[in-house]
Amino acid sequence: MTFPTAIEMQRAYLRKDSSYDGIFYLAVRTTGIFCRPSCTARKPLPKNVEFFPSTKQAIFAGYRPCKVCKPMEAIGTPPEWVGRLLSTIEKDPTTRYSDSYLRKMGIEPSRARRFFQKSYGMTFQAYCRGRRLGTSFEQIRSGVDLDDVALGYGYNSHSGFRDAFKKTFGKAPGQSRNGESIVTSWIESPFGPLIAAATSEGICLLEFTDRRMLDNQFNRLRRYFKCAIVPGENRHIVQLKKELKEYFEGTRKTFSVNVVFPGSPFEQKVWNALLKIPVGQTASYEDVAKMIDAPKSSRAVGRANGMNRIAIVIPCHRVINKDGELGGYGGGVWRKKMLLELEKSK
């Protein structure tokens, strides 16, 4: 990802520009803290500031989170221009959104490119291409004529559509009537943004977007399902969003959305055991090992627990150390603590 220039970042934090939140963080050498660009605290002198692309790098450099803007917590809703842009795309995913189009909307193309790269793991144009192809794929599966799909989803020729489709899905359009794809969607939460993925059978991934293993988890999904991953939404993601909202509001204790979690036989035993840990309770790795009739496999249980791809719904956060300490968590121990506190209050 292209990091903003020092001048651009300096202007952003001096203006307290929230649209840069999540794009970079500023750290203050004289105080030892790091902040969001929009932090309302008194702005430091430029000579005392250095910039980081992630909270992880700021922490590893020895800085601590600001208590005013709380950069380790959820950003909240996306910047206004992002929500406006996503809404525009969803209303008409067939349009090609050029740089000139973005400028007419008052959006700088380089900013859109950086935000989408950081938040979705792809450039804005790649997101649009994936959205077009994902929509066309669903149309093909539902029986729409190939000519209508090719010319109705932003492609000027059949050959251009066919080449783009095959590159993404691995099959020509005519061979995809019964095909499958994994659709992904961004979900805001009080504890930070999440990315969800689902097949036609159910949710196959739910992770906090700053998890280090996220790329690896997506690679595993590609191997297991042997299909493309594209931005979009289906009925399972719609249901998940609703249930997560209720969960964070404290009105839901269990999830009913379908989940699919292929893995090794041992991993699946562990993940099924996690689903049996009641809300508001915890279990040790040793407890889980006993639950699956493998009492000497606590270390292997820990590894399988860490490989869980469906956070919160498959509650790996409810597994703690035998001595009562929280232990590790892919989404960060601070999130594990907050999830457990949320569940105990229900």
Is the domain 265-344 a CATH 1.10.10.10 member?
Answer: yes
Q: Rounded distance, CA 339 to CA 74, Å?
A: 13
pLDDT in tens, the chain (346 residues): 456 788 888 888 998 888 788 888 998 888 878 899 999 888 888 888 888 887 766 765 556 778 888 886 655 556 788 878 888 887 887 777 888 999 999 988 888 888 877 766 567 887 787 677 666 656 655 555 555 554 554 555 566 656 655 665 555 655 545 556 788 887 878 887 788 989 999 999 999 876 767 777 877 888 888 877 777 788 999 999 999 999 999 999 999 999 999 999 999 999 999 999 999 999 999 999 999 999 999 999 999 999 999 999 999 999 999 888 888 888 888 889 989 999 988 6
Q: What is the pLDDT of residue 214?
A: 73
Q: What is the pLDDT of residue 1?
A: 47
Residue spans of the domains in the chain: they are: 6-65, 80-172, 182-249, 265-344
Domains 80-172 and 265-344 share a fold: yes
Note if 316 is an active site residue. yes
Q: What is the pLDDT of residue 111?
A: 86
Cβ contacts of 83 within 8 Å, gap of 6 or more: 77
State which fold the 80-172 domain adopts: Arc Repressor Mutant, subunit A (1.10.10)
Give the active site residue among 66, 69, 227, 316.
Answer: 316
> Domain 6-65's class?
alpha beta
pTM, two decimals, is 0.58
Q: Rounded distance, CA 40 to CA 335, Å?
A: 24
